[in-house]
Chains A and B, each alone.
Chain A
């Protein structure tokens, strides 16, 4: 297949994943702003940082209040990470890769662009926000369903999946990156109750607060949460899960093309060395350094995939 098409599939999947992640972030931020108006400003700021949009937001000179931030993250077309921008990008990439998508996948992506375009035409009122966010998640579930149900398991499929997991790992790591400071005092004083609402927020922003409690019961500990998000292989948004999937996808590509790549070596190193655990060792060596390091390795992997499979030149 064309390198450009592979790149478009990769980016289509990244943008689709990003729209869903950002919807989740808005949801978590909105919840905490409702329950804790005193810290709302700081919360919105950290959510913007997580979404990689804080600089762009600061440039608008607007207040950090719910209505303004939510509107920026949902609808502002000057914000390249807003849901509207991201869905448009996903659709543009899908159009470029149209010949590699099944009719079902293309129509799901196109419908999601049309539906969200209509839904986000005007500013969303507070009481409509939950519905809008759920519509965003539904749209991306539809794309995912069409994708998994109709796409040939060929190289194009693997490029798109790589995009999904790379973006997802990036998102989970960013959430940890922004919130890592919450973990530190509680590790030093094991047993002190940590800020439950804050942790609920983190777990909600990866749609995993229920799963966490199923797994660990009512005990909310910093170590466990970090373990859950970083190392737990059954958790579909954990770093270890994403790395495993990326390794699988690159593995398929390498076998299909009968050609080993640098990206293959990098993803293996990422998976074997960075995600072997145990979690205590990660804390001992510094959680912040660990996450910064992971983000860097993940970004380098993205660049290497682009080079190895000739997305651009």
Chain B
């Protein structure tokens, strides 16, 4: 919020004016109200493997993170370029594999990728779209320096927090929105519905029926699933509500089975179809795969999209973007060492205490090493894991992430943040909701923003021009 010299960064000036005139006690009271609001609304998440805390709140900070109109223009252009390239890459990988033939991406990265689905070879997903919904994690390291930290093309979550955080801020500080011109985010659900409907399969007749597929109320993101279904006016289905009837995927309604055209699934590929994937899955729909192949249903995101989330593949994104768009990447990658390559591995092992090491398929902040924050013992243990299976890891330098203020008992204090904008793609185009989800490390000095590791969230403001 304030630059290195202590002056206020331009996008924050109006907010600061308001904040400086406020009683801290009032803001504190409002912050507590916000927590009650989240609890009553049921905006909670479940942490796996902890029975006592069945449902927890993600800490919410009342100080918004503010992005200027020009910063956002730059970001959104970079994100759009990236998502287009990803989608072209996925199409290519599941068709002619030009990029592999050209030697720009090593074959092993695909052949050894657990998320690669040979069954998708030659399939044309309706509308040619693989990544209907994606989230690009971005960090900022300097005044005009942004990096893409990772791509989430499988099932990015958190968009309900983006929407509810704004709703909460509007309830708590309505006057603030009269002072500061902030761009709307509330049209995300309707854009999502439009975008999904625009990808209806060939066998769809009339207005497409969209449904959200959830693993059920015990899933950690159930709140988000029901929230999105509710906001879209779509049915929220579980595997046992669905069945293949007459060549279509149909849901069991009070009046019999009704076909679905587009399914926004929040279950992993493995669980989609027990007949074609994991036989023990009870979350999916037996036979959905055959309907998919026959053009009877759109699955969003497309099966097999998860290869793009691989962190080793991430390191090739600048090449991928260049290969498909002919342009240089507008948003840079964080420099990445691939531990599968011996010289990279050697350097990583030498510099372990200063690096961040991640599993290539990891998510949620699990199984990673943050060198500067780790003890000697932890580093030694991680070194052993790394040496045993180097292919499983990538390493990145510890970035000097920018901080934004959070509201604490003793006033404002800086904390590290990242940003996940949400991107919708359909044949009609790409829509990026201004802003996204800002995740914040609530403990001083910490770089880990994941909610499963105690991270919190903030409202994210993109200012009008």
Contacts and interface: CB of A to CB of B under 8 A. Distances in A.
Interface of A: 1-6, 92, 95-96, 98-99, 103, 106-107, 110-111, 114, 155, 159, 253, 257, 259, 309-310, 313
22 contacts: A1-B253, A2-B235, A2-B236, A2-B241, A2-B252, A2-B253, A2-B254, A4-B252, A5-B235, A6-B254, A95-B42, A98-B226, A98-B230, A99-B226, A99-B229, A107-B40, A107-B42, A110-B39, A110-B42, A111-B40, A259-B255, A310-B253
B251 interface: yes
Contacts of B222: 95
A257 B238 CA distance: 24
Contacts of B240: 4
B429 interface: no
Interface string B180-209: 000000000000000000000000000000
B237 interface: yes
Contacts of A6: 254
B41 interface: yes
B217 interface: yes
Contacts of B118: none
A11 B196 CA distance: 32
A310 B42 contact: no
B40 A2 contact: no
A20 to B, nearest CB: 21
Contacts of B143: none
Contacts of A159: 254
A3 B253 contact: yes
A309 B254 contact: yes
Nearest to B252: A3
Interface centre among B241, B254, B256 (most CB of A within 10 A): B254
B238 A4 contact: yes
Interface string B306-321: 0000000000000000
Nearest to A107: B40
Top 9 A-B pairs ranked by shortest CB distance? A98-B226, A309-B254, A99-B230, A3-B252, A99-B229, A6-B254, A95-B217, A99-B236, A107-B40
A106 B253 contact: no
A3 B250 CA distance: 12
Interface string B204-236: 000000000000010000100010011000111
Interface of B: 39-42, 217, 222, 226, 229-230, 234-238, 240-241, 251-256
Nearest to B44: A110
B254 A114 contact: no
Contact of B217 (A96, A99, A155, A310): A96
A98 B226 CA distance: 6
A95 B55 CA distance: 13
Given A1-B253, A1-B254, A4-B240, 12 more contacts: A1-B235, A2-B235, A2-B241, A5-B236, A6-B254, A92-B217, A96-B217, A99-B234, A106-B42, A253-B254, A310-B254, A313-B252
B230 A2 contact: no
A95 B41 CA distance: 11
Nearest to A7: B254
Contacts, number: 61
Given A95-B217, A259-B255, A114 B237 contact: no
A4 B42 contact: no
B235 A110 contact: no
Contacts of A253: 254
A156 to B, nearest CB: 9
A214 B222 CA distance: 50
A98 B43 CA distance: 12
A310 B258 CA distance: 13
A96 B216 CA distance: 8
A95 B226 contact: yes
Nearest to A111: B40
A310 B243 CA distance: 13
B241 A98 contact: no
A257 B217 contact: no
Contacts of B253: 1-3, 310
Contacts of A99: 226, 229-230, 234-236
Given A95-B226, A310-B254, A2 B237 contact: yes
A310 B252 CA distance: 7
Contacts of A95: 42, 217, 222, 226
Contacts of B234: 99
B254 A155 contact: yes
A45 to B, nearest CB: 34
Given A3-B241, A95-B222, A99-B230, A310 B256 contact: yes
A1 B222 CA distance: 19
B40 to A, nearest CB: 5
Contacts of B41: 103, 107, 110
Contacts of A98: 226, 230, 236
Contacts of A5: 235-236
Contact of B255 (A4, A103, A107, A257): A257
A103 B167 CA distance: 13
Contacts of B237: 2
Contacts of A3: 241, 252-254
Contacts of A92: 217
Nearest to A100: B230
A114 B217 contact: no
Contacts of B235: 1-2, 5, 99
Contacts of A103: 41
A157 to B, nearest CB: 13
A309 to B, nearest CB: 4
Given A98-B236, A99-B236, A259-B255, A110 B40 contact: yes
Contacts of B238: 4
A154 to B, nearest CB: 11
A5 B39 CA distance: 23
A245 B12 CA distance: 59
B319 to A, nearest CB: 43
Nearest to A3: B252
Q: Which of A4, A99, A106, A253 has the most CB of B within 10 A?
A: A99
Contacts of B39: 110, 114
A92 B217 CA distance: 8
Residue picked from B229, B240, B253, most chain A C-beta under 10 Å: B253
A223 B236 CA distance: 50
Nearest to A159: B254
B226 A2 contact: no
A249 to B, nearest CB: 13
Residue in B39, B42, B230, B236 whose Cβ sees the most chain A Cβ within 10 Å: B42
Contacts of B40: 107, 110-111, 114
Nearest to A257: B255
Nearest to B216: A96
A159 B254 CA distance: 10
A309 B254 CA distance: 4
Contacts of B229: 99
A1 B256 CA distance: 10
B57 to A, nearest CB: 12
Contacts of B241: 2-4
